[in-house]
Structure 1
Amino acid sequence: MRSKLFGLSAAGILLGTATGAQGGTILNWNLDNVAVDPGPYADGTTYYSTIYDEPVTGGVGDAATNGRMAFEPPEGAAPGMKVMNDAPDLNPGQDIGNCIMAAGDATCESGFQSGKRYKLHATEAEPIDLVFNVVDSQETTDYRVFEKISNYTGGSLEGFERELGFGIGEDFTQSTAEDGLSFGSEARTQFPFELFGDAEEHPFHELSGFYDPTATSGYELDLAEDSMASSGFYGAYGDFFGDWLDNGEVPDGYFWDHDNDPETEDILMATYDEEEGAWIQRREEQDGEAVPIEPTEVSEAELLEDGYYSAAVTDLANLNLNYFVNVGNVTDWSTYEQGVGTFTLRLTPDRAVDVPAPQTAGLLLTGLALVVAGRRRQAGPC
């Protein structure tokens, strides 16, 4: 049975929770199929933990990679992701004792913009397998997952599927009903609020979204016990861009460093509209504040004169996910041995346009035409 969700479930009832006394506790991220950039690490530099489709403890060899975990000190730390159990109670309005999150100083209940989301880059539209070490315990343990997925696959995506299971690469098998592993019934995806969303509905934002200031946008989800698949957009992202943009396809923008503070995010003021061949401004500075305006065509000279700077709108390639993983009886898992088992959290990006390998010059030209047409459609109005 599947339920279609695009917001947080009010009921909060967890699927597939074990009823017996036996349960499981996640120890940590298993790095057998991961190669972590070695230190020492410098602040302000991005490093990667590259994820492979087979173990690489003896060397990478012929192993293939489809993704990587990014981390940037000082906020982030190696290897980019951590597991927390019995986390400190920092917020009386929350009850998140266990979570999977970004490695660093933040904990499960740390505040807004504290760097809780781990940053997973999909570099190919193929499966990416995160493996976790689990020990048996007395009861089912529920983990809140703070995740950001970024599209670095080289092309736009229609969506994604997440699966729970065992093994990696060609040896992966999906989890089955009542085997002590499941997703919870609460799940949500959302593109960054700075681009889509009404500030009056968010306690931590004073400025509504750049593209749509009235509502958030993300993917609806078909959520089952052991799988979670996107099923089309809610909100306006698709109206603007057609598909989930690759990091190299996002439009350029002009930003305002409103407070000269490197720790805060700069404000997007204008973007380049490929179809119009013009810069379109949607915000302007008034009395030291950025305020929304009707889309207005402006020149680059005007934007530079106002003190703005140019950069790619990379947040259009980023998707935030919140969901739960529930770990029950691990002793019957095929991976369980000497008190420790492993499970796999798999991500499979869904390519928007598949171009077959060319057999003739005619097929090659057809494939190129499809790619160009797809990219034009994805650019959309900005």
Structure 2
Amino acid sequence: MRLCVRLWVLRQQPFAATVDSVNTDNLAVPPVEGKTLIYTDTAGTASFGWLDPVNDSGEIGLGISVYNEAFNGTIDEQVYQFAGCIMAQPDLEVNCQAPGDSGKRFKLKTTETNGPIDLVFNVSADDASKLYRVIGKFSNLTDTTNLVEGGLKAFRIETGFGVGNDFTPSSAEDGLSFGMAADGASKLSIGPIGKYPGGLFGGSRVEGLPFFSTSIAAFTEGTTASDEDTMETDGVIPVEYSELFGDWNALANVPTGWFIDHDGNPANDSILLAWNDGTDWQTNEKTFEAVDIEAILLAGGTETAPATIYDPNGTSFDAEGENTTIYDLSNVRPVVDTLDEGDPDNIAPAALSLSKLLASELYDGTFRVLIDGEAVTIADFETWADNPPTVEDTTDGSTLATWLPDAGDEGLYELADGSTMTLEDMNEMINASEGELVRVAGYVQGPVEDLANVNLNTTISVTDTASWPTCTSDGTETSCTFTMRVTGLNELVDDPAIPATPATPASRSSSSGGGCTVGGPGSPFDPVLPGMVLLALAGLWARKRRADA
């Protein structure tokens, strides 16, 4: 459907609505160069951001979806009924309540400071009010030319209608709003409205133990707390982040980190070991405190035990790093539950503390870190540069290939003869080798990408659509759209001009001579394109995601 601006006279007044799907009229369909571009109009005139279209299974879609899967969610000890969620596009059997680390967050990227990004949703009018959870990640990919005024300082989310210059903010009592608490003084959110990933700050049952701080780095809403149609943070970057990195860094400016690729597979998450503060390589040593936690038993159930059972340099692990206890040490939830994420009121003593020191002082070749329930010995810091991930030929013990993360667009393997091979081709070769070729763990440098990312949590309420300016009806069924506008903010930077839609929009499609179109807003999906797009995006899916456990 198109973004309509005419309200038809209805035979029967609708009093509620169901969010059906994502409207694609201002999206690049299929993706352009691996991006679902979000345009400022349906003609594709300009774009201030994009969605990552590849889900965690490597499947290509829009990168965002609506799932009407009813569930109950608890906020401030109050149970709320949700009709569904707006999230990424994993297309699992259960999506809204899928387990942690299942790729639920849509990945929205802003490329322009103060540039609004308009996500539009299709709605059917019906007779039941509905509440939807919004689960996303907002990444700062803004241009470094704004650095004279700093990075981003806040974000704003608004509800409304239309896109670009035609966007109209939602008004009070028009049937579209954020979910609001019963007293109307705050918005409903499962978790902070925005926070840096828990694997960096505060810990997370999903993202693991924290690296930089045991306190979460959460944004706070400013003067819009009681505004049902606008949510804007107060312009203050969480102190846990700002003390180390200043403003919300753009991806191009986050510090470089050293990571261990512990399974030797660049397609999987690597583990952050150290970061460069501009002067030297720093790290944080984790100390598991002698405080009681409810440890998880391998046989099921729990029992009280000291948090020191998780210490990879303690007595829980043998010389090979294997767990010798009766506890499931791959599950760090009992530790996280004592930190800021799981214990915001500081009722229990913290089971973990962090101590900053030079990486060269901690990593002497004997120190071990906890990875997936095993104690992994980290090589001497001075040798990391000489030990990248490799592929070994077990028939003669030779090195078949060495991983070069900076080669090509997404990294390449260099073979012994100097030629190169993509990650996908190497994985195919390994899988076909019947065990003769094996991956060898190693160390890689790269940006600490999650320092550019903020997890978003909010809710959207749809009730009466009667006054919406985007509804049409055939006299029997009523269809509408609404917009969720997301903007990364810095008040010291001028707002970008949203270009006017040309009277005769230039075509954004390209032709290969065979008639296939590429990347037009709301374009029908050409049957020739899936294979082409898959080839273009294969490297994007396999890209090394810099983890922060």
Question: What amino acid is the match of 1:50?
Answer: L
Normalised TM-score (structure 2): 0.53
Aligned to 2:493: 354
Q: Distance in 2 between matches of 1:323 and 1:67?
A: 20
Give the letter aligned to residue 22 of structure 2. Answer: W
Contact 2:156-2:487 at 8 Å conserved across structures: yes
Q: How far apart in 2 are the matches of 1:352 and 1:22?
A: 39
Match of 1:25 in 2: 18
1:68-79 → structure 2 map (5 Å cutoff): 68-73=50-55, 74-75=57-58, 77-79=60-62
**Offset, 1:235:** 4.4
Q: Which amino acid aligns with 1:136?
A: A
Q: Does 1:192 align with 2:197?
A: yes
Alignment partners' CA distance in 2, 1:148 and 1:97: 21
SS in 2 for 1:218: coil
Change in CA separation of 1:304 and 1:159 when aligned onto 2, cut-off 3 Å? same
Amino acid at match of 2:64: M
Deviations 1:296-323 (A, max 9, x none): 1539634446842211101000000111
Secondary structure class of the residue paired with 1:308: strand
Change (3 A) 1:329 1:311: same
**Of 244, 248, 253, the match for 2:248:** 244
Partners of 2:126 and 2:443 in 1: how far apart? 55
- The question of whether the paired residues in 1 share the 8 Å contact of 2:53 and 2:63 is answered with yes
Distance 1:241 1:279 in 2: 15
The answer to whether the Cα contact below 8 Å between 1:97 and 1:108 also exists between their aligned partners in 2 is: no
Instruction: State whether residues 94 and 109 of structure 1, in contact with CA within 8 Å, keep that contact through their aligned partners in structure 2.
Output: no
1:33–1:55 contact (8 Å) kept in structure 2: yes
Q: CA deviation at 1:283?
A: 4.4
Does residue 115 in structure 1 map to residue 103 in structure 2? yes
Match of 2:4 in 1: none
Query: How far apart in 2 are the matches of 1:120 and 1:153?
Result: 12
1:1-382 maps to which residues of 2 (within 5 A)?
22-37=15-30, 47-56=34-43, 60=44, 63-73=45-55, 74-75=57-58, 77-86=60-69, 96-106=82-92, 107-125=95-113, 126-155=115-144, 156-184=151-179, 185-187=187-189, 188-197=193-202, 199=203, 202-204=204-206, 206-207=208-209, 209-212=210-213, 214-222=214-222, 223=225, 224-231=227-234, 232-260=236-264, 265-274=269-278, 277-283=279-285, 286=313, 288=321, 293-298=355-360, 301-304=382-385, 307-338=442-473, 339-351=478-490, 353-354=492-493
Is 1:76–1:102's contact at 8 Å kept on the other side of the alignment?
no
The alpha-carbon deviation at position 27 of structure 1 amounts to 1.2
Tell whether the 8 Å contact from 1:218 to 1:237 is kept in structure 2 after alignment.
no
Please tell me the residue identity of whatever aligns with 1:134: V
The alpha-carbon distance between structure 1 residues 159 and 28, as it changes in their structure 2 partners (threshold 3 A), is same
Counterpart contact for 2:31–2:53, Cα < 8 Å: no
Over 3 Å counting, the alpha-carbon distance change for 1:203 and 1:279 in structure 2 is closer
Q: Which has the larger radius of gyration?
A: 2
CA distance in 2, matches of 1:244, 1:343: 29
Q: Contact 1:150–1:317 (CA<8 Å) still a contact in 2?
A: yes
Equivalence for 1:369: none
1:108: how far off? Answer: 0.4
Partner SS, residue 301 of structure 1: helix
> Identity, % of aligned pairs?
35
**Aligned partner letter, 2:281:** W
Say which is worse superposed, 185-194 or 161-170, in terms of deviation: 185-194
CA distance in 2, matches of 1:203, 1:148: 17
Shift of 1:227: 0.3
Q: Between Structure 1 and Structure 2, how many residues are aligned?
A: 319
With over 3 angstroms needed to count, the CA separation of the structure-2 counterparts of 1:38 and 1:192, relative to structure 1, is closer
Provide the C-alpha distance between the structure 1 equivalents of 2:49 and 2:207, rounded to a whole number of angstroms. 31
For residues 59 and 158 of structure 2, the distance between their equivalents in structure 1, rounded to whole angstroms, comes to: 26
With over 3 angstroms needed to count, the CA separation of the structure-2 counterparts of 1:295 and 1:228, relative to structure 1, is: same
Q: Distance in 2 between matches of 1:29 and 1:206?
A: 32
User: 3-state DSSP class of the match of 2:472?
Assistant: coil
AA paired with 2:88? A
Provide, for residues 214-243 of structure 1, a one-character-per-residue CA deviation record: whole Å limited to 9, x for no partner.
211021113320000011234401111111
Query: Greater relative contact order: 1 or 2 (C-alpha under 8 angstroms, separation 6 or more)?
Result: 2
Per-residue deviation, residues 181-209 of structure 1 (Å, max 9, x unmatched): 01112232110111101x4xx444552x2
Are residues 312 and 345 of structure 1, via their aligned partners in 2, closer, same or farther at CA, if it must alter by over 3 Å? same
Pairwise CA RMSD: 3.2
Q: Is the 8 A contact 2:195 2:218 kept in 1?
A: yes
Show structure 1 runs of 5+ residues with no match.
Answer: 1-19, 40-45, 358-382
Unaligned 5+ segments in structure 2 are 1-12, 73-78, 145-150, 180-186, 287-311, 323-329, 331-351, 361-379, 388-441, 497-549
1:370 corresponds to which residue? none
SS in structure 2 at match of 1:221: coil
SS at 1:139 equivalent? coil
Flag the structure with higher strand content.
1
Secondary structure of 1:237's aligned partner: helix
Alignment check: 8 A CA contact 1:279 1:300 kept: no
Q: Secondary structure at the match of 1:220?
A: coil
